[in-house]
Amino acid sequence: MDIAILLFLIVINGVFAMSEIALMTAKKSRLQKLAAEGSSSAAKAIKLAEEPTQFLSTVQIGITVIGILNGILGEAALAGPISELIVSLGVPITIAPTISTISTVVIITYISIVIGELVPKRIAQFHAERISTLIAPLISVLASISRPFVFLLSISTDAILRLLGRSNQDEVSITEDDIQALLNEGSEQGVIEKQEHNMMRNIFHLDDRKVASLMTPRSELVYFDTEQSWDENLPKLLRSDYSIYPVTRGGMDNVLGFTTSRFLLKASHQEHGTKWLMRNLLPCLTILENKFGSQLLELLRTTGEEIALVVDEYGDAQGIVTQKDLLEALAGEFKSENPNDSWAEQISEQEWILDGSIPITVLKDTLCLASLPEEKKADYQTLTGMFMWLTSNVPAIGDSIQYQDWNFEVLSVDNNRANKVRVTYQVFDS
């Protein structure tokens, strides 16, 4: 009978241990959903989780009382039979009680740890929300019964925490790293699709990316110059794949606004095409090149415009950025009909051909790099910028740098920037 009671107490101890882990690890969002669906147990679990000192004190009282009872009953239930067994094996009766006591402690401790602690806690980790809702009513009742003792323990605990500079009101805030870790775990387990994971990760990266890394740089722009004739403007416009163009007076140092291919087509059939085009210009929004992607998103969202002119601190045009650039920053690069326009072309498992304008965030994802050399100190935004920083010079054909077993070699240059860069995986001697 005593052994049955002892095992029962160990199981009850396991229930307390299980409830502690379940209530501490249960996801509040899931419990809130269950509570909204009418689960009173989930509501009680949320209340207990919001008052950790209250329920932890209740659990600790239960575990402590059971531990004391286990010691008393264990001695009574096991010491005698074990002592008799030891004597029957020829052990002197003078030392049999000592061996019996040690054996009793070892047996009870082993069973208590396995059945009363480890197994219940592992189960609680696997089914935290379900166990929380099942156990919350019982813990709530026990908390009410033991309220005077819990009150005393709570006061003592809070007083000590205040002396240590902490408060029971302090909450552990969820960081961006925590959310990204959950996203990585969900992607690895197949709960989140890879593309969904990439998009959510890119949303976080958007607040780290400068507008300069999103824009089409000035050197690549095609524009309509009002000081040139249509015969001079049309050939370069027809060679372009863009659908929206800056309209300038004398070049990119004086941008008047923007126009589209459709408006250019209409204007080309007007008697005074340039004047008609000037009357129908799209507004010229401007944004500093060192602003972040999230700020650009807010600007385009609030104004309803599709394009903005990127300027430096002196007001000089550095490029243009569009809604499509933002969408690519979130969803990934859109495949172009011209393979030369792609940021990254994989030649083999150990070789890539990269565009010099590839943003560093995309570069790191492509090569699975956690960081790039001196990127925080230098604050460069593209692969070309990385070359300029590390070589202290304008990129030239044949320039190369090594970083973490990757060799970067400039294959071609265009307008003082690296146009194409070969990246090969090599193991360098340390």
Phi, psi of 349 (to 5 degrees): -65, -25
Tell me the three state secondary structure of residue 241.
coil
Q: Which of 151, 105, 8 is nearest to 66 (CA)?
A: 8
Report yes or no: 420 and 412 within 8 Å, Cβ to Cβ.
yes
Geometric angle at alpha carbon 323, from 319 and 326, rounded to 5°: 85
Q: Model's pTM, two decimal places?
A: 0.58
Give the DSSP letter of residue 404.
T
Token pair, residue 223, equals 């524009």
Number of helices (H), then strands (E), belonging to the chain: the values are: 18, 12
Token pair, residue 313, equals 């601190």
Token pair, residue 156, equals 């003592």
Per-position pLDDT tens, the chain of length 430: 677 888 888 888 888 888 888 888 888 788 888 888 888 888 888 888 877 777 787 888 888 888 888 777 776 677 777 777 777 777 787 787 788 878 878 888 888 888 888 898 888 888 888 888 888 888 888 878 877 877 787 788 778 888 887 655 555 567 777 787 877 777 777 778 877 878 888 888 888 888 988 898 888 899 999 999 888 988 998 888 888 999 999 999 999 999 998 998 888 888 788 889 899 998 889 999 989 999 999 999 999 889 999 999 888 999 999 999 899 888 877 766 665 667 788 888 888 999 888 888 888 888 888 888 887 777 788 888 888 888 888 888 988 888 888 899 999 988 788 889 999 987 655 4
Tell me the three state secondary structure of residue 263.
helix
Q: Are strands 417-425 and 351-355 parallel, antiparallel or unpaired?
A: antiparallel
Alpha-carbon gap, residue 425 to 405, rounded angstroms: 6
pLDDT in tens, 108-163: 888 888 888 889 888 888 888 888 888 888 888 887 887 787 778 778 877 888 88
Token pair, residue 141, equals 């009742």
The predicted pLDDT at position 168 comes to: 52
Alpha-carbon gap, residue 143 to 348, rounded angstroms: 64
pLDDT in tens, 85-112: 777 777 787 787 788 878 878 888 888 8
- Count of CB atoms situated within 10 Å of the CB of 217: 17
Report yes or no: 213 and 310 within 8 Å, Cβ to Cβ.
no
- Count of CB atoms situated within 10 Å of the CB of 200: 17
Alpha-carbon gap, residue 38 to 307, rounded angstroms: 48
Alpha-carbon gap, residue 263 to 129, rounded angstroms: 59
Token pair, residue 251, equals 């070049």
